[in-house]
Chains A and B, each alone.
Chain A
């Protein structure tokens, strides 16, 4: 499969990432196990009459998508592909609550209509009148990865010269309560900036929307390339993960020493992070690495944020100081490998390179 050129990348996240000229030079600290996206003034991008009806995830995603297209100078892409594990949770919660409390006599269909998982891709298509390919993946921790794979297949099939691809998930008050009851998050007060210094159970809840405009040919303004994306489902043990990584690198004709930077999905949960430690002590021994979930929190489509981060690191040839990176002798960052696993169900690899 041919590589995809990232023409633009936009994210709305719990950090100052949207409409910000600086690249993560001023990290936002949260003393909570719930990180919330920093939302911009949407009225610049979206008709205020539409904004009123949109839930938070729809607003974050539509604004990111439109900004991404604008940055790339593309009015309407050849395809729109999104990935979201939970979909439009707020609207789902509103309609469910209404239905239960009103004993099946809900009054308005708005929340129901907007609760479908494809609402974001559909809203973007509707706003820009894009009648081309439109698809939505709801594959848990591999939702963004499948959207990316779909996009890359489309680019290879010659049916699309450019694809808008995004990953998004939102936290709602209800989802945070429910996921907290599943014991996913840290119980003690912790700063996100200190996430990896506390060895304890649980992570911090996160959210965000990230969009990318991918092209099948290079241009002068590309941030980076996506060489490949791969997922591994429920590996039996670390050896299987190691084997999978090895096969992935072989398929890309590169060796471990070609990787200039690893972006790891450590989320601060001691059990969850053991896998990263084991890989770092074995196959990735000596490869420089950074983490990213202290910035955006843990959620099933966080690799979309990681892809935004990796692409900007390559573009700027610079790792923000705030990411606590150990300097190496390398002076050019050519290849960045994102390795993440979500609850040890889906493991994924996304390889980025300079163009």
Chain B
């Protein structure tokens, strides 16, 4: 697996920050925006030049592509899959922003004169071309695809990758997603009035919105046959997944959390597990009024009265949008691999409506077996994944 986020440029750095409780949310430093003094965000702590050095991509490349390249390369190298000849390999990447950071630059000139604007800043606008750019550098070519279902994008990429293997179309898939912080998304969420001017407080009674983040996270999925060929044993297995639609509103989730409920219940049914078998929930937990009350209601419906440990790692990484389920898949796998549960930072007053409280401190949980990871997005897109110890 591989990850880059506001709390670290690789798996080891992110894990270290999670263990030590160090948030990546800070004043905006790298994105050129008028909102930089008002709206905090969890930026990856590198300039585009810095990302260029690590990723090997040109400095003028979309930040989304560079983040993807760094995390996907780490995952690919870490898996050992490339050492096995003649496997059918795929790259399924998710994104919501794609190359829009560069489109923003292009538009500044294009709107004044439509003959202006550097074409190199627009040719990778499409999410799909970010994926192909990275696939080419990784040398993966049997299957390349891109998914965009708002904030659940990466969860669907991981599901799709798992199903391509299940259908025996591929032997190994790098699956996850990437999104850079852009002015487009920052301003978009700002017009929706869901951005917290303070550091976000997921699942707190006094929460007042989300902080955006950026990053990329990928897991390498392999068939059982390939797993036996690899020197290193897998971190965990994906034992369940489910995609459902809340069908309630374009941008908000139903009061009772129908979508998240169906996604979690569906993933449990597929895995053959009971709610009480889940040891930890990596919450979608954005920190908005709507998400946390809706997701909380769904958890109450499904788990009451036996609540697993839970936390939102968005209190560390901010909301990385299309990358979030990829980043959180890596965190979920690490939780199982190391037997650890992360804190929900800055939680002071747990939501009064619910009888459960997310974790406020880091803890070692050697018996951790099953982790549920939730994703909820615009357009009612809800997907849950279950990771299980082997």
Contact = CB atoms under 8 A, between A and B. Distances in A.
A113 interface: yes
Contacts of A131: 244-247, 258-259, 262, 380
Contact of A100 (B104, B127, B188, B262): B104
Contact of B379 (A86, A99, A119): A119
Contacts of B191: 106-109, 112
Given A104-B187, A134-B245, A140-B126, A116 B148 contact: yes
Most buried by B among A109, A123, A138, A234: A138
A182 B164 CA distance: 35
B250 A126 contact: yes
A113 B192 contact: yes
A1 B167 contact: yes
Most buried by A among B95, B107, B247: B247
A41 B136 CA distance: 45
B72 interface: no
A275 B224 CA distance: 39
Nearest to B249: A126
A116 B179 CA distance: 13
Main secondary structure of the interface of B (DSSP, over half): mixed
B111 A100 contact: yes
Contacts of A352: none
B377 interface: yes
Interface size class of chain A, counting residues whose CB lies under 8 Å from the partner chain: 35 or more
A327 interface: no
A243 to B, nearest CB: 14
A136 B149 contact: yes
A163 to B, nearest CB: 13
Contact of A126 (B98, B247, B377): B247
B261 to A, nearest CB: 10
Interface in A72-92: 80, 85-87, 92
Interface residues of B, number: 64
A269 B126 CA distance: 22
A220 B244 CA distance: 31
Contacts of B149: 117-118, 121, 134-136
A138 B247 contact: no
A181 interface: yes
A130 B262 CA distance: 12
Given A126-B249, A126-B250, A143-B128, A104 B183 contact: yes
B103 A123 contact: no
Contact of B244 (A113, A114, A133, A156): A133
A122 B150 CA distance: 10
Contact of B145 (A112, A118, A142): A142
Nearest to A80: B245
Contact of A233 (B95, B143, B164): B143
B108 interface: yes
B184 interface: yes
B34 interface: yes
Given A118-B150, A136-B148, A96 B107 contact: yes
Nearest to B151: A116
| In the complex, the 6 A-B pairs of residues with the closest C-beta atoms, listed nearest first | A122-B379, A112-B188, A140-B128, A117-B148, A109-B191, A134-B245
Interface of A: 1, 80, 85-87, 92, 95-97, 99-101, 103-109, 112-119, 121-123, 125-126, 129-140, 142-143, 146, 150, 153, 156-157, 174, 177-178, 181-182, 231, 233-234, 345
18 contacts: A96-B107, A107-B191, A112-B188, A116-B378, A125-B247, A125-B380, A126-B248, A132-B244, A132-B245, A134-B149, A134-B381, A136-B148, A138-B98, A139-B145, A174-B114, A178-B122, A181-B115, A234-B136
